[in-house]
Structure 1
Amino acid sequence: MTVQGWGEIALTLSLSVAFAWPIGIYLSRIWNGERTWLDPLLKPVEGLFYKAAGVDPQRSQGWFGYASALIAFNAVGFFLLYAILRLQNVLPLNPQGFDGMSPHLAFNAAVSFVTNTNWQSYSGEAAASTLSQMAGFTTQNFLSAATGATIAAALARAFIANRGEGVGNFWADLTRTTLYLLLPLSIVLAMVLVGLGVVQSLAASASATGLEGGAQTLALFPAASQEAIKQLGINGGGIFNANSAHPFENPSPLTNLIESVSINVLGWAAFFAFGRSVLAKKDIRALVAAAFVLLATCTAGMYALETQPAPALVAAGIEQPLNMEGKEVRLGVPSSVAWAGPTTGASNGSVNAMHGSFMPLSGALQMFLMQLGEILPGGIGSGIAIMVVMAMLAVFVAGLMVGRTPEYLGKKIEAREIQFAMIAVLVLPLAILGFTAVAAVFPTAMEGLLNHGPHGLSEMLYAYTSAAANNGSAFAGLTANAPWWNTTLGIGMLAGRFVPAIAVLAIAGALVVKPKLAPSAGTLPTDGLQFVGLLIGVILILGGLQFFPALALGPIVEHFQMLGGLH
């Protein structure tokens, strides 16, 4: 551990929050339909979209209509992407000459990008054509990110309403988030990345001569444009199999810093946008504080672990100051950790190092960050939505202690809201632990493992955690391109994305019709350190404790095996 290493990690985490604050104010203006500096340019374009689709952006939908529109839109997106992947061999912009994907792989990939998971059971440069990357994956990177933002926008309107009826218009929220936020920021970031050396090309490949004189054929793609929305949209799917460890996606320490900051910036921005929209900035800053403490603590733990020499090497008389296995040498341990923490705390999933090669307890921390519910800060909108659900559960627990009906942000939290809140938080352990338990005793599933014993369990547990949490990062080792894994991981992604989304919108529907209450003497303050501590406790108990037995059998056992020289 070095001061420089700690400084790099602190800089990465802090810049994400610092840039998020002004962007959050701008995002709130987008959600609220307020005037923005892009209105003169984009307002006519926005109007054309509504006219072409026959949408009245002023018509507010009830929660069920809003949820139905969300599901219908994403269903159409899935079928279109599935068709592109299956038929890419007969579609244009396929200079690589790739065949169409198999049915189970196309299902998994289409579900993955539609749900903002971006899990990849394939090697991007060897399986997906230029058209699939551009018209398929990149398009869904925008739309899946915007879908998550719509959930938070609807929930914010429910909290601010006083005996209202609707939670907004899904089509307007989707259009405005994409047009005014994601597209402009992605264009700017893509141009910056191109200037710093990230590849952007429609050619299939380029020929090069290596240092030893051998000829090489280098795959080329429009990487910079996808890299920009991959990070800003908190998506994570890379064009190349090595993801952001590949120099064509991440060529230098400067691009590494820019991209790692981009991973979290819009997730945090959605927190600040929510606070401004519901007129409760202090209360939402408490949520930011709780999330930041958890993320920073786990990231610091990873750095402490990865800067220790591997016990097996020490036993062999070979000491090294860092655990460089699986790390990109040009980036080093601090940059790898400063990426691994934010990417698993968010629903991003991009990597610049191989997580399966981290120390066992580092792998446990990565899984733990996802298992908490992808709320640190999670996806754009989806993270703050589930964090608000956690806050509602926290005030409910506090209400039980003092015998009062709990309130949060001026709304009474009653049985209906808590029922939907539990659905939102329990789907994750059901999908993760349920599928892992079945896979652990199913011979066909076990064939995909590279390792057995505790590390093999970690491979399975990480895969289902990443899928259900809509993260998309991989532990490596697992051969997931098989019918069992592609199908069950796809089901986990669907459950982890749309069950909480519908539950949150149902909560919004229950809250919007309630009166807005002024704080009373009995109202629990939700903007101070006491509530931050209570919230962290609820998150750790509800989001983390239920996964401890599985983690104990996987990475924790592997850690003790490593210390005993058995690893």
Structure 2
Amino acid sequence: MARVYSSEKHYKPEKWIYKAIGANPSVEMRWPAYLRGVLAFSAVSVLFLYGLQRLQGSLPGSLGFASIDPDQAFNTAASFVANTNWQSYSGEQAMGHVVQTGGLAVQNFVSAAVGMAVAVALVRGFARSRTGELGNFWADLVRGVVRILLPISVVGALVLVACGAIQNFAGIHEVGQFTGGTQQWNGGAVASQEVIKELGTNGGGYFNANSAHPFENPNGLSNLFEIYLILVIPFALTRTFGRMVGSLRQGYAILGTMAVIWLGFTALMMWTEFAGRGPAFELAGGAMEGKETRFGISASAIFSVATTLTSTGAVNSFHSSNTGFGGGINLLGMQLGEIAPGGVGSGLYGMLIMAIIAVFIAGLMVGRTPEYLGKKIGTREIKFAACYILVTPALVLGFTAASFVLDTPAHSMTNSGAHGFSEILYAFTSGANNNGSAFAGLNADTQWFNSTIGIAMLLGRFLPMVFVLALAGSLAEQTPVPETAGTLRTEKPLFTGLLVGTIMIITGLTYFPALALGPLAEGLAA
């Protein structure tokens, strides 16, 4: 990936795309121009996907499904363009082949490529000096799709088909059931959409059951492969970062931080799900409610941590059925900012923002100007970083509080008490952090939730990008600071420990009161 984003060569198919959209890939952009490219492309994508859904009833391959209602069409368009893939609809009962493949699957590719492009722009900010230029957005976008996401997706789709996932354009047909009778199912290009859904940390399921559905995730082997797809690019981007800044050890320090958090959350999730109390838990050998018997507790726990510590949102079990503490672990994973390893691109730039905060704290402790990768972290940089980390908590807590002063939640929640509170908190945490998974006990197909979660998804995706790109431009303009004996060694395990502590403390101080009202109260009551 470092070679892809550093290359000056343009392949023929890429040149055709540049010509079609009228872009000059060789022109370097400063951060305002780069940001305008991100926002303009995303705005057009929202309008296109919204229009495609509103016209579905008139399109071929609609399978007889009607056009999507305006509020749900807005929510879905915002969701897929923001790389969230939150779904307030059942895919097999609402979306035809054209919308699924020409709309949703396309956004799975390009929204992931947008996140990767912004991450690379921030890395260039660290790597460059005495210039405000961050590369070319259109070149980064096209290369991310053509050279990285498409080739891996083709191979990955073949693997999933070999495992038993379906790939066709069949219509609605009758399927026999083991218990007698029949059920109606429609086919679709499922394997190809499944692979980019995981690889691009998107998460939207072709079917309502998502990766618990046997057409999407047929067996244990496909389940492991999908977990691998979720994690491979976010973890690999740490090496891309190391290569582009000229120090692989800096990349390994970021990788170590991500790995420590991911392993810790996985261990905690497995422990809490196996340690469920009560006769039902003991007879089943653990908390099997809401879990596929094909996968069991261990594979479901690993999948749920992988999907909530990234911005994927795919599920192979229902998170609402987790133990109280298990649901809290999923919530906390998203509230960290999904940085361990995080979404495609967004995980890396989120972790680098946290690294800047950690360096700033360390500088205050020893009384010297903080530096990271040869760049001074001054007032301007720390303001951008602070604004970044404040956006999503403000959206999550603000919309959650607003929901509870209205009548809408009472009609949408299937549970009351602490678990009902967790459903609302989870929905806005998932939306604002661009995750897309749900607690599955909330009816979010209302005008209030479609609108507010849609707004939270757009603001939670693009407002942080504003601060990331502004920070990248500020760093790129600086003159490198020479390393001295007092410089904090950010490639050492000590810094990794400091970074882990900074992440947990910031998140804990922000979200602990809300978590105490929901999953912690439920877990302690059990």
TM-score (ref. length: structure 2) = 0.98
Deviation at 1:209, TM superposition (A): 2.7
Question: Are 2:160 and 1:193 equivalent residues in the alignment?
Answer: yes
Alignment of 1:226 onto 2:201: no
* 1:451 pairs with one of 415, 427, 430: 415
Q: Contact (CA 8 Å) 1:118, 1:472: kept in 2 or not?
A: yes
| 1:251-262 correspondence runs (5 A) | 251-262=218-229
1:289 aligned onto 2:256: yes
Shift of 1:336: 0.2
Amino acid paired to 2:21? A
Q: Tell me which residue corresponds to 1:510.
A: 474
- The alignment partner of 1:89 has SS state of helix
Amino acid paired to 1:306: E
The answer as to whether partners of 1:67 and 1:502 remain within 8 angstroms in 2 is yes
For 1:187 and 1:394, locate their aligned partners in 2 and report how far apart those are by CA, in whole Å. 40
Partner of 2:399: 435
Paired residues for 1:21-420 under 5 Å: 27-33=1-7, 43-94=11-62, 96-311=63-278, 313=280, 319-420=283-384
* 1:524 lines up with 2:488 in the alignment: yes
2:242–2:250 contact (8 Å) kept in structure 1: yes
Q: Distance in 1 between matches of 2:179 and 2:278?
A: 35
For residues 454 and 180 of structure 2, what CA distance do their matches in structure 1 show? Answer: 44
Instruction: Tell me, in whole angstroms, the C-alpha distance in 1 between the residues paired with 2:141 and 2:522.
Output: 45
Distance 2:411 2:499 in 1: 41
Where does structure 2 lack aligned partners over 5 or more consecutive residues? none
Q: For residues 262 and 187 of structure 1, what CA distance do their matches in structure 2 show? A: 13
Count residues in correspondence.
Answer: 526
2:109–2:149 Cα contact (<8 Å) kept: yes
Equivalent pair of 2:240/2:251 in contact (CA under 8 Å) = no
Equivalent residues of 2:132, 2:474 under 8 A apart: no
Q: Which amino acid aligns with 2:131?
A: G
Q: Distance in 1 between matches of 2:311 and 2:239?
A: 18
Q: Distance in 2 between matches of 1:51 and 1:494?
A: 29
Q: Per-residue deviation at 1:559?
A: 1.3
Counterpart AA for 1:460: I
> What residue identity is the alignment partner of 2:122?
L
CA distance in 2, matches of 1:489, 1:312: 38
- Structure 1 pair 320–252 and aligned structure 2 pair: CA distance change class (3 A): closer
The secondary structure found in structure 2 opposite 1:461 is helix
What code does the residue aligned with 1:483 have?
Answer: Q
Unpaired segments ≥5 residues, structure 1: 1-26, 563-567
The CA deviation string for residues 326-358 of structure 1, in whole angstroms up to 9 with x for no partner, is 000111111101101110000000000000001
| 3-state SS in 1 of match to 2:57 | coil
Distance 1:210 1:284 in 2: 51
Identical positions, percent: 47
2:175 is paired with a residue of what secondary structure?
Answer: strand
Letter in 2 for 1:82: Y
Letter in 2 for 1:501: M
Aligned residue type for 1:328: E
Alignment check: 8 A CA contact 1:439 1:446 kept: no
> What stretches of structure 1 move > 3 A for 4+ residues in a row?
none
- CA displacement, residues 267-317 of structure 1 (integer Å, 9 cap, x when unaligned): 112221111111122122111111111111111111011112432647xxx
Distance, in Å, in 1 between the alignment partners of 2:135 and 2:403 is 41
| Aligned-partner residue type, residue 540 of structure 1 | M
